[in-house]
Amino acid sequence: MNEWTWDYNPSADYLTNGLPPGVIAEVERLATELAALGRDSTKVGRPFDREGGLREFDILNGRGFISFLSVPRHACVYVCNITFYG
């Protein structure tokens, strides 16, 4: 098991304000899965042609997406934005 974790950036209150509980649960589930990937999380999602930097990953069958940043030196995946079309 790796030592990676995940967190909201800037904060959970800011990013999840007004979202349905099911969306928040799905975002947290995906963030946990991304953290479990460890360093490989820098290769997941868009853009497909390079690794690192701000990444995007679809949620709830294309009804939204999360933007996240994998930072190997912090061993952390930061959820930076949540877009949900409802």
Total domain count for the chain? 1
Domain of 25? 5-84
- Following DSSP, what letter does each residue of the chain receive, concatenated? ----EEEESS-HHHHHTT--HHHHHHHHHHHHHHHHHGGGGGGSSB-SSS-SSEEEEEETTTTEEEEEEEETTTTEEEEEEEEE--
Q: What's the CATH code of the domain at 46?
A: 3.30.2310
Q: Model confidence over 27-76: pLDDT tens digits? A: 999 999 999 999 999 999 888 888 888 999 999 998 999 999 999 999 99
- pTM of the full structure: 0.90
